[in-house]
Amino acid sequence: MTTQEKGQVMTANRLGDGEVVFLTRAGTWSEKIDEAALAQEPQALAAIEARAAEDVKANLITGQYLFNATRIDGLIRADHIRERIRTLGPSVRFDLGKQAEGKAGAFAAVES
C-alpha cells in the first residue's frame, strides 16, 4: 500500500557553490530532496520560512522559496516539473548532474 503526504518544501541555492539545496527537519541544507522537511501545518511553514530568512542574512543561501511536494512511501516528489528538474540537474543529458551521480531524488522529471 502506497502512503502519500502533501506539503511544502523550502529550496534555495547555496551561496558557496550555487548548488540547489533543500531545508531539512534538522534545520540544515541538503542537496538531496528526500532529506527535505515536508511542512504541512502553518506553524511548520512559518518555522522553515524563518530559518531560511536567517540563513539568507547569514549569507548561506539565496533565492529561497517554498514549493508543493508529495512524500510517497518516504520519498519526496516535487509536484511541479520545475522543481523536479532542479533536483536532477541538466534535463538534456542524463549522464550529467545529480542524476548521474546518484544524488537525485527517486522520481524522474517526467513520468514515462
Residue 104 pLDDT > 70: no
- Cα 44 to chain centroid distance, Å, stands at 16
pLDDT tens per residue across span 32-90: 999 999 999 999 999 999 999 999 999 999 999 999 999 999 999 999 988 888 887 66
Q: What is the pLDDT of residue 94?
A: 62
3-state secondary structure of 10: strand
3-state secondary structure of 6: strand
Which of 101 and 19 is assigned the larger pLDDT? Answer: 19
Q: How would you class 111 by CB atoms within 10 Å of its CB: exposed for 0-12, middle for 13-18, buried for 19 or more?
A: exposed
Residue 107 pLDDT > 70: no
